Amino acid sequence: MAKLSNKNRISKKPTRSQRKERLQNQDVEIEDENILQVTEFISANDLASLMDVSVTEIISTCLSMGLFVSINQRLDAEAIDLIASEFGYKAEFINAIEEDSELFLEEPDKEEDLEPRAPIVTIMGHVDHGKTSLLDYIRNTNVTSQESGGITQHIGAYDVETTDGRRVVFLDTPGHEAFTAMRARGAKVTDIVILVVAADDSVMPQTKEAITHAQVAGVPIVIAINKIDKSTAEPEKIRKELANQNILVESWGGKYQDQEISAKTGLGIDDLLEKVLLEADLLELKANGNKKATGTVIEASLDKGRGYVSTVLIQTGTLKVGDVILAGSHYGRVKAMNNHLGKRLKKAGPATPVQVLGLNGAPQAGDILKAMESEREAREIANKREQILREQNIRATRGLTLEEIGRRRLLGNFQELKIIVKGDVDGSVEALSDSLLKLSTQEIEIKIIHKAVGQISEADVMLASASEAIIVGFQVRPSQGARRAAEQEKVQIKLYSVIYNAIEEIRDAMEGMLAPTLVEEIVGNAEVRNIFRISKVGTVAGCYVTDGYIKRTNRIRLVRDGIVIYEGDIDALKRFKEDVNEVKTNFECGISIKSFNDIQEGDVIESFEQKEVKRKLV
């Protein structure tokens, strides 16, 4: 087909407008005369169409550069850039999602269509500073006790009504450093950030990260100084540390509102909510609810009874049961919607967090969810995105280059630890994978060969067996078939419910893989006081052990006037006429050295041992 289309093009050259129209149907777009906007992994034929040259010209150009390509071969970014420059073009790369976003361009909403909406508030801060406890008090539930180790490991989205009847949407983001990416997403969809800092602690690294995320997202921050009821609370110290981070609170003449609270007793929480609603009033938040819904995926998981469940925050429009939806490389029809309490909903308007059932897979946290006109259109876009993602994953699996082989030979003891990560929700899988990849060192490389949401299956075990990998399960369990297959194939499955434990155990395993360091320890010195030359034996040194001990099996050095003359092994060690294994301090002995006879009075024989010391990851 490609060849036929080339012949047609040669026989009758299309006009520029026709070419532009054709290219819009081929995932590529021309911005101006010499700039190509393309997605990575387009085919050689598509690139030829874009540049209005025959595909044979591209193939011959590639051959002259040492590249072998076929008509329908998909090209990576480097190859596209190189080929485009050969034909006088500059390639600009856009990803599939960005390109598709052009399909979703909508007319700006009219002022009369906009209605006030609830503010979306993200609670951020360091581990154990009381973020979830604050949210618990606000919505009168207890989440912390359900979380493993008292650490929030997922993003929760909750709809809360205040005492004066106003609605506020809360996002609770995890505080552990492994969830930086998830916290960043929390800041992207939010209107206001409540930064929780414990009054009995200080401004910690993750607090600083949260400030950075909020500032980059350009959202107002309200400071909640928590644990004010404790005797060790020092709120003024917290204000001073925040001032050092350029966060000057109102009581110190700055622009950031702050409130002293106790999430345990409820002290100051009503005042905090008032300040949040004041910030919301200043923002004048509005949205159009009378159109197709657009939202952001907060979390996605695989539920045994219900299938793929996605927590979505609707941002504009109204999502209804039965709507065709597209999120990332997955599509489907909304089968059911629940709020955070599990109550069934038929529709969800702007600034409403809902659990959506009906997608054919688990989208990534942060993906845009869009209600589509038809299932066919949604399927086509999802399939195209999936194809590009698959190509990227295949290309991302780095092959072994000559340079890499050379590097590994120089290191001598290079090792690779392959891991398959399975988790209950996408955010946790992504966070754990990122944390494990950061453990890679020069000598040991961590390679995540597969990561997905859902229980550990037989397919995962067979993949682990074929690639000699271990399986790390986070809040999931293997199926019966997978357990049996793991026993047969001798595949190790490690299960965790707290992310700290997973990271620490993998770190320990990597340290065990490191070759131990040989450390030399001097254990004794003997001074040569007399020399005996014996036929058929050689030179025997009459020695006096001045410190430590001399052991028959240890290696020795002969030192003369502070300079090492010889290093070798003891041939014989005697006390009087008897062979001994060891001679201690203040005792005399006779020592003969293997293959060495040039011993003089006054020399020092230094005995040393080499011990293996377990290495730590740097």
Task: Kindly tell me if the per-residue pLDDT of 12 is higher than 50.
Answer: no
Tell me how far apart the alpha carbons of residues 180 and 186 are, in angstroms, rounded to a whole number: 10
Give residue 543's pLDDT band: very low, low, confident or very high (50, 70, 90): very high
- State the maximum Cα–Cα separation within the chain, in Å, rounded to a whole number: 115
Task: Kindly tell me if the per-residue pLDDT of 390 is higher than 90.
Answer: no
More confident residue, 40 or 260: 260
All structural domains of the chain: 2-94 (no CATH), 118-284 (3.40.50.300), 294-392 (2.40.30.10), 399-513 (3.40.50.10050), 517-613 (2.40.30.10)
Tell me how far apart the alpha carbons of residues 429 and 452 are, in angstroms, rounded to a whole number: 7
More confident residue, 347 or 364: 347
| Contact criterion met (CB below 8 Å) for 310 and 343 | no
Q: What are 295's two structure tokens? A: 């939202």
The answer, as to whether pTM is greater than 0.85, is: no
| Contact criterion met (CB below 8 Å) for 543 and 527 | yes
Mean pLDDT of 576-593: 91
Give residue 339's pLDDT band: very low, low, confident or very high (50, 70, 90): confident
Mean pLDDT of 256-268: 86
Q: How many CB atoms lie within 10 A of CB 365?
A: 26
From residue 88, alpha-carbon distances to 35, 36, 229, 489 in Å are 9, 11, 69, 55
536 DSSP assignment: T
pLDDT at res. 153: 46
More confident residue, 178 or 599: 599
Strands 307-316 and 352-359, bridge-based pairing: antiparallel
Q: How many CB atoms lie within 10 A of CB 379?
A: 16
Q: Which residues pair with 541 in a beta bridge?
A: 531, 591
pLDDT at res. 549: 93
More confident residue, 121 or 29: 121
Tens digit of each residue's pLDDT (9 = 90 or more) over 102-119: 555 566 777 777 888 888
Tell me how far apart the alpha carbons of residues 546 and 404 are, in angstroms, rounded to a whole number: 52
Q: What are 452's two structure tokens? A: 């997905």
Give residue 587's pLDDT band: very low, low, confident or very high (50, 70, 90): very high
Q: Which residues pair with 539 in a beta bridge?
A: 533
Question: Helix 55-64 vs helix 2-11: angle between axes, to the nearest 10 degrees?
Answer: 110
| Contact criterion met (CB below 8 Å) for 249 and 223 | yes
More confident residue, 259 or 407: 259
Task: Kindly tell me if the per-residue pLDDT of 558 is higher than 70.
Answer: yes
Tens digit of each residue's pLDDT (9 = 90 or more) over 469-492: 889 998 889 888 888 888 888 888
More confident residue, 186 or 173: 173
> Average pLDDT of the chain?
79
SS3 26: coil
Task: Kindly tell me if the per-residue pLDDT of 53 is higher than 70.
Answer: yes
Q: How many CB atoms lie within 10 A of CB 358?
A: 22
Q: What percent of the chain has pLDDT over 90?
A: 11
Tell me how far apart the alpha carbons of residues 38 and 30 are, in angstroms, rounded to a whole number: 8
Tens digit of each residue's pLDDT (9 = 90 or more) over 494-541: 898 888 788 888 888 777 767 677 888 899 999 999 999 888 888 999
At residue 608, what is the residue type?
F
Tallying the residues shown for the chain, one arrives at 618
Tell me how far apart the alpha carbons of residues 431 and 119 are, in angstroms, rounded to a whole number: 27
275 DSSP assignment: H
Scored b (16 or more CB within 10 A) or e, 607-617 reads: bbeeeeeeeee
Task: Kindly tell me if the per-residue pLDDT of 320 is higher than 70.
Answer: yes
Give residue 560's pLDDT band: very low, low, confident or very high (50, 70, 90): very high
Q: How many CB atoms lie within 10 A of CB 316?
A: 21
